[in-house]
Structure 1
Amino acid sequence: MKKHIPNAITCLNLFCGCLALYFAFNHRLEYAAYLIGIAAIFDFLDGMLARVLKAYSEIGKQLDSLADMVSFGAVPGAIMFSLLTQAEASVLGIPADILPFFGFLITIFSALRLAKFNIDTRQAESFIGVPTPACSMFIGSLPLILATSGSLYDEIILNPYFLLVVTVVFSFLLVAELPLFALKFKNLTWKDNSIRFIFLGISVILLALVKFAAIPLIIVLYVLLSIVKKTSTS
């Protein structure tokens, strides 16, 4: 019975992704964003329970990727599509009614990243390229910032150039040969986990200070600290 528990949690991740898609295409982007967060919690829990219960299986691995493809691939693409639709502008000669479809580059490159992850033995203890949940949380934070910050960030977030740059940059980062640390603690010593403690400490401070606006900063911090870590150990 216990071998089915991680897969059941993975299915909850998938269900959250399905609900998030519904809300994204019905212009309730803040609900879609909250569901990305809940899906990310389930995504963390299924892996943790699989380790604790020693309930690893090949079907569990494949199911996890399929669920992630919806929650952290299709959903952020749909959110970016909707944000680009709201921008109502042409960019670099791309008509305003065509531009939103560029948001689905996130979905395409998420699929490439997940396929690459499944066959890449180097990613057992760390990541190569930005994980799909991190990309999704960055994009999902944008409508939350719009919904909770009045008009403070509207001109930035709904700027079509900004949205297109975010789309292209994250599409690249998803498949880039960029080593990134994982939040996996084998012990609690400073020596082995200094970069993780620094990341978590700064993240908590940012969340306390600027709330949802901290999420994009935290994702950028994650990438920068990973680069620093890689440089210091080279």
Structure 2
Amino acid sequence: MKIFTIPNFITLGNLLCGCLGLISVFEGDLKKASIFIFVALLLDFADGFVARLLHSSSEIGKQLDSLADVVSFGVLPSFIVFKNLETFSENEYMKYGAFLLAMFSALRLAKFNIDTRQSDSFIGLPTPANGILIATFPFLIDNSDFWNKTLSTEWFWISYVVVFSYLLIMELPLFALKFKDYSWAKNKVKFIFLALSAGLLAFFQFAAVPFIIVLYLVFSVLLHFKVLKA
């Protein structure tokens, strides 16, 4: 069994980003920690792309990818939420609720690894989506008065933890941005979603990410109930 492959080294880079991001949280630099989540996301896409390109996909690569994702998109985002609750919550114990996100992320990834239904789609919110959303919050706090006020309350963070912990494991099919081919007929929903997401990013920048996550959930629900056709 080959373990020293290029895709696996890329996955280990993802894991390293998670570790370095944790150091940034301990140092009190949440923006730097968030940047490590963004880099981890790029590496998370890259390892799968390179594995398919080199025909070197393997079971150990799949397991390693999930282990790296637990750190970069589960534990690290939880610590960012922990630091915010530590700052904004008057209850000294409330901040520990942030680690529900790490726990449910681990549960979601373990479920993903053995769930045969998730080869072409997801069941529950992917951990990178949750991680990248949390990574935008330190930047949004300085973006506008609205976000500053919203993200400076303990109830926002508590509500976020509860809602997104559930979304990670809920039995809702969500479409995956995987392309077997690039024809419009078979991928029109994905192309429309990507085009709308690009437009939102160009117009709102970091503030677009929450809208994109909501758009992703809405599109998935409409597909599930056949309001939209894939």
Hey, what's the Cα distance between the residues in 1 that align with 2:183 and 2:60?
35
Give the C-alpha shift of residue 57 in structure 1: 2.0
SS for the counterpart of 1:127 is strand
Residue identity in the other structure for 2:44:
D
Hey, what's the Cα distance between the residues in 1 that align with 2:4 and 2:121?
25
Hey, what's the Cα distance between the residues in 2 that align with 1:126 and 1:3?
28
Give the C-alpha shift of residue 54 in structure 1: 1.2
- Aligned partner of 1:229 in structure 2 is 223
- Aligned partner of 1:154 in structure 2 is 148
- Aligned partner of 2:36 in structure 1 is 35
Hey, what's the Cα distance between the residues in 2 that align with 1:170 and 1:26?
26
Give the C-alpha shift of residue 187 in structure 1: 2.0
Assess if the C-alpha contact under 8 Å between 1:17 and 1:39 holds in 2: yes
Q: Report the number of matched residues.
A: 227
- Aligned partner of 2:117 in structure 1 is 122
Assess if the C-alpha contact under 8 Å between 1:16 and 1:36 holds in 2: yes
Matches within 5 A, 1:14-163: 14-89=15-90, 96-147=91-142, 149-163=143-157
CA RMSD of aligned residues (A): 1.7
Percent identical across equivalent pairs?
Answer: 48
Give the C-alpha shift of residue 65 in structure 1: 1.1
Residue identity in the other structure for 2:77:
P
Per the normalisation by structure 2, the TM-score is: 0.94
Structure 1 stretches (4+) deviating beyond 6 angstroms? none
Per the normalisation by structure 1, the TM-score is: 0.92
Hey, what's the Cα distance between the residues in 1 that align with 2:188 and 2:120?
16
Structure 1: stretches of 5+ with no match in the other structure: 90-95
Is structure 2 residue 180 aligned with structure 1 residue 186?
yes
Hey, what's the Cα distance between the residues in 2 that align with 1:36 and 1:122?
27
Identify the range of structure 1 (54-63 vs 204-213) with the bigger mean alpha-carbon deviation: 54-63
SS for the counterpart of 1:54 is coil
Give the C-alpha shift of residue 150 in structure 1: 4.9
Assess if the C-alpha contact under 8 Å between 2:73 and 2:131 holds in 1: yes
